[in-house]
Amino acid sequence: MPNRRRAVPGGRNNTARRAAAWTRWHEYAACVGQPSGLFYGRESETAAERVAREQTALAVCERCPVRRQCRAHAMTLPETYGVWGGTTEAHRRKSRHWSKGQPFDTSGRAS
């Protein structure tokens, strides 16, 4: 079984190596240069702190030119932690749970 890569806080800002072609969209993301703590909460974070942090992160996502690619990445990989493509951990978890029982519809797919 191949090793799966996990999301690592600060991974979006990792400039040590060139992005692969399928992740090159990272270079154009609005979150580049933002602190990773904005997108990934700490374990001791309270519910109120999480809501405030997520709202701020989602505001960054709203102005992101690659939000659609980021969201698709988060849903298909799947990314289980952090804010990705304008979605929170809870949103992606609910979407995955809902979609398990739904037939795959190709009519709305982007080319």
Q: How far is CA 43 from the centre of its chain?
A: 18
64, HSE (Cβ side, Cα atoms, 13 Å): 26
CA distance 80 to 6: 9
CA angle 22, 27, 63 (to 5 degrees): 110
**Does the annotation flag 70 for ligand binding?**
yes
φ, ψ dihedrals at 87, nearest 5°: -125, 145
φ, ψ dihedrals at 89, nearest 5°: -55, -45
**Does the annotation flag 81 for ligand binding?**
no
**Does the annotation flag 42 for ligand binding?**
no
Q: Annotated binding residues, as ranges?
A: 31, 61, 64, 70
Q: Which residue ranges are tagged as binding site for [4Fe-4S] cluster?
A: 31, 61, 64, 70
